[in-house]
């Protein structure tokens, strides 16, 4: 123990590592002595917000976490696991890589993709789909374009080389994300639930292995970096950004899945945030065991790495594996076959204590339980209060906004706005077809569709969040995010199953930011319970804001991204969004409303940045979705597309572009023309019906009690509203499909 009394840590060092003074005192109480610097680093990273969720876990526990199809509950494993029938399970999760992407967009985004895929295949599932949700500042700014190019290339290069298709996503631009972009990556995998590998350690004497890549100095203290504000000095944290190698990850994937087929291991965990520290402590704490780890046995990329550097490194493509004693050869042979490190660095011990040695000397001794979420890590309930802007937004009146004199011109301007226009410039850099499971490429639908080969069913996947709505009303806006995700699943022919979330907010010590967080959780909980979509896990990312002039902080819009999966029971009934035939009837299921609140039209074209969230009623939304699901099940419609960002005109245009077909519709005389075309009132779905099936369609909808309206019919290419010519679909397609590309290539 002599080593532990040397280099005693100080309060000043604790604060530099992100710990509070009272947390430093608690550490001394836990250890019964003053920690050394290495131990302080261990507590600093494990008690960071990124690892401990200390400022969020109280409210996260209020979310629905159980359901009939759940195989593991939130927080139990590396990712959520849901029974999808036919002897298959789906593992899925979404996480952020915001701060690394802000200072090194290529590697920040690439390693975000790598990390989330490891969470999936560490459980024994083969990743089959990726999705992403991205937020940037104004696209007209050079810095935004640099970030966008780097992030998209990082996602594309890593994902394409790794060999998993991107099936969906979203990109949103607003000045609040100017220097703090959001990069949220989701991965979805398929597995036989009998092959699940748990992130657990037990059995005294069982050997502990590190497998995969060597450990370097990249990513040291990355979790702590993610748990503080962005500032003008953040570039100095560049060493906290990891460096990824997708080809190494592909080898690690195949080796891990081969390992899952054996009975040679006790448990396995990805080395993500906090590296060896996190994986050894979390795996040990599950069943109360400890570990002895010899850090000098860890394969390293640099000579002379210090204990805290090895412990806190977040080098990519690494796993910790606890092996059944006597089965070491099986594990070593598998990783040798795939040309990967598999080195025993320690063994399981009793008593719940982690002891880390370097060249025979004890470098750190800490109790696993006291390090982890759900154990001894701190839990806080921060002060919160309603921000002044919330009441101010309610004062908005549509009467203050004149109806545009030229609606056709406004419509074309709207579909060319970066938040509405096609993200083709982005997704064309991703491989969407690798693996041959993507059913969405040539038949677009509201959600991505994963073909479950050899099965009658398919998987529907989506990510959704309109952060402007959430900023306007965090509770209602987050409920809308859940509802839109469910609506996308339903419009594709699926039944919503479960949710993962990525909660992006500002500094939790700011009472107004924390109010946004608390209200968002309330809205998410209500909506998830209504749609019977339990939350399987995810990620909290606080401190998304910029420090200006050393004092003023500007938080991003609260952005609780919802990742949702659903089951399409019969993939022959999957629904697409494209108009099919000239003359098909266009119906609106749901009701239009005199509502411009928080719409892209109001914010982007009219310049009104503060207004209420759009009208929303959870019961009405559920009824609309049930009605649409019934229409699809009975084969009564041939296209379905939800009305969301950009309003009805955008939805109709998106339905027309795939086959270059137009529309001729009549507006609602009781609704303002701009609200009818561009407003984003919720709980609306556009469907098309073959003329011969109209009677059965109407009868079926009347039985549901859900309001519906005949809008008009599909044309060969002309777009007409109230007998006014709005142009041709070919011209609209050129604006919509190429708007972002033209800005990026200008």
Q: Give the residue numbers marked as catalytic.
A: 50, 97
Distance CA 106, CA 110 (A): 6
Distance CA 392, CA 631 (A): 41
Distance CA 474, CA 588 (A): 28
3-state secondary structure 420-481: CCCCHHHHCCCCCCCCCCECCCCCCCCCEEEECCCCCCEEEEEEECCHHHHHHCHHHHHHHH
Q: What is the DSSP letter of 615?
A: P
Yes or no: say if 315 and 275 are a contact pair by the CB < 8 Å rule. yes
Distance CA 208, CA 268 (A): 10
User: What does each C-alpha distance from 113 to 118, 131, 155, 244 come to in angstroms?
Assistant: 9, 9, 6, 9
Torsion angle, alpha carbons of 138, 142, 148, 149, to 10: 160
Closest CA to 104 of 19, 23, 181, 24: 181
Write down the number of H helices and E strands in the chain. Answer: 26, 27
For residue 374, the tally of other CB atoms under 10 A from its CB is 15
- Rounded to the nearest angstrom, the gap between the alpha carbon of residue 23 and the centroid of all alpha carbons in its chain is 30
User: What does each C-alpha distance from 399 to 407, 646, 672 come to in angstroms?
Assistant: 17, 20, 10
Token readout for 637 is 């419609």
Q: What is the sign, positive or negative, of the torsion defined by CA atoms of 623, 411, 177, 170?
A: positive
Yes or no: say if 74 and 537 are a contact pair by the CB < 8 Å rule. yes
3-state secondary structure 96-125: ECHHHHHHCHHHHHHHHHHHHHHHHHCCCC
Yes or no: say if 159 and 113 are a contact pair by the CB < 8 Å rule. yes
| CA R_g for the chain | 26
Bridge-based pairing state of the strands 182-191 and 448-451? unpaired
Which class for 630: exposed (0-12), middle (13-18), buried (19 or more C-beta within 10 A)? Answer: middle
Distance CA 417, CA 399 (A): 24
Q: What is the sign, positive or negative, of the torsion defined by CA atoms of 493, 497, 502, 504?
A: positive
For residue 110, the tally of other CB atoms under 10 A from its CB is 32
Distance CA 7, CA 15 (A): 17
Distance CA 586, CA 579 (A): 9
For residue 249, the tally of other CB atoms under 10 A from its CB is 25
For residue 161, the tally of other CB atoms under 10 A from its CB is 17
């Amino acid at each position: 123990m002599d080593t532990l009394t040397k280099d005693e840590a100080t309060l000043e060092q604790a604060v530099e590592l992100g710990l509070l003074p009272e947390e430093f005192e608690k550490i001394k109480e836990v250890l019964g002595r003053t920690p050394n610097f290495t131990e302080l680093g261990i507590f600093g990273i494990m008690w960071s917000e990124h690892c401990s969720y200390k400022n969020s876990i109280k409210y996260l526990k209020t979310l629905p976490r159980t359901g009939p199809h759940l195989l593991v509950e939130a927080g139990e494993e590396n990712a959520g696991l849901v029974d999808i029938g036919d002897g298959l399970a789906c593992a899925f999760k979404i996480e952020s890589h915001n701060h690394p992407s802000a200072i090194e967009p290529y590697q920040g985004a690439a390693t975000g993709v790598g990390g989330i895929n490891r969470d999936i295949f560490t459980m024994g599932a083969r990743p089959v789909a990726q999705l992403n949700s991205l937020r940037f500042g104004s696209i007209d700014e050079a810095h935004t374009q640099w970030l966008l190019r780097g992030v998209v290339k990082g996602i594309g290069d890593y994902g394409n080389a790794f060999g998993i298709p991107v099936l969906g996503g979203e990109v949103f631009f607003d000045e609040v994300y100017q220097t703090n972009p959001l990069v949220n990556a989701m991965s979805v995998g398929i597995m036989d639930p009998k092959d699940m590998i748990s992130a657990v350690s037990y059995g005294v004497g069982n050997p502990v292995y590190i497998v995969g890549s060597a450990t370097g100095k990249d990513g040291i203290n990355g979790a702590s970096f993610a748990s503080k504000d962005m500032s003008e000095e953040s570039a100095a944290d560049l060493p906290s950004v990891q460096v990824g190698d997708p080809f190494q990850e592909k080898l690690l994937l195949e080796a891990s899945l081969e390992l899952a087929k054996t009975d040679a291991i006790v448990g396995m965990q990805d080395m993500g945030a906090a590296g060896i520290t996190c994986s050894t402590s979390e795996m040990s704490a599950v069943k109360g065991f400890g570990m002895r780890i010899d850090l000098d046995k860890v394969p390293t990329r640099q000579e002379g790495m210090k204990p805290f550097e090895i412990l806190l490194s977040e080098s990519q493509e690494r796993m910790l594996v606890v092996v059944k004693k006597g089965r070491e050869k099986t594990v070593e042979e598998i990783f040798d076959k795939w040309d990967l490190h598999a080195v025993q660095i320690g063994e399981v011990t009793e008593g719940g204590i982690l002891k880390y040695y370097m060249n025979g000397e004890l470098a750190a001794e800490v109790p696993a339980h006291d390090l982890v979420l759900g154990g001894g890590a701190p839990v806080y309930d921060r002060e919160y209060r309603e921000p002044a802007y919330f009441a101010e937004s309610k004062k908005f009146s549509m009467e203050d906004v004149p109806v545009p004199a030229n609606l056709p011109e406004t419509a074309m301007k709207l579909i060319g706005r970066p938040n509405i226009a096609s993200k083709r410039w982005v997704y064309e850099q991703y491989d969407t077809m690798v693996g041959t499971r993507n059913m969405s490429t040539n038949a677009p639908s509201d959600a991505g569709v994963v073909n479950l080969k050899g099965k009658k069913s398919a998987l529907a996947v989506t990510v959704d969040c309109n952060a402007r709505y959430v900023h306007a009303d965090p509770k209602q806006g987050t409920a809308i995010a859940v509802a839109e995700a469910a609506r996308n699943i339903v419009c594709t022919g699926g039944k919503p199953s479960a949710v993962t979330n990525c909660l992006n907010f500002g500094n939790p010590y700011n009472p107004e930011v924390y109010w946004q967080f608390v209200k968002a959780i309330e809205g998410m909980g209500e909506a998830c319970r209504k749609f019977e979509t339990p939350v399987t896990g995810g990620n909290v990312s606080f401190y998304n804001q910029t420090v200006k002039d050393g004092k003023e902080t500007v938080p991003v819009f609260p952005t609780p991204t919802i990742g949702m999966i659903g089951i399409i029971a019969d993939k022959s009934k999957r629904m697409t969004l494209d108009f099919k035939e000239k003359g098909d009837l266009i119906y609106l299921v749901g009701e239009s409303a005199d509502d411009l609140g928080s719409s892209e039209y109001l914010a982007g074209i009219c310049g009104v940045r503060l207004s209420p969230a759009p009208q929303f009623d959870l019961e009405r939304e559920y009824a609309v979705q049930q009605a649409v699901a019934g229409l699809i099940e009975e084969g009564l419609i041939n296209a379905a597309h939800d009305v969301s960002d950009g309003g009805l005109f955008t939805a109709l245009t998106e339905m027309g572009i795939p086959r270059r077909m137009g529309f001729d519709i009549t507006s609602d005389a009781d609704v303002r023309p701009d609200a009818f075309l561009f407003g984003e009132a919720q709980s609306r779905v556009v469907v098309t019906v073959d003329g011969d099936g109209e009677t059965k369609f109407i009868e079926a909808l009347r039985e549901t009690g859900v309001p519906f309206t005949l809008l008009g019919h599909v044309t060969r290419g002309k777009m007409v509203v109230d007998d006014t010519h709005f142009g041709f679909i070919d011209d609209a397609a050129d604006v919509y499909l190429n708007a972002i590309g033209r800005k990026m290539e200008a």
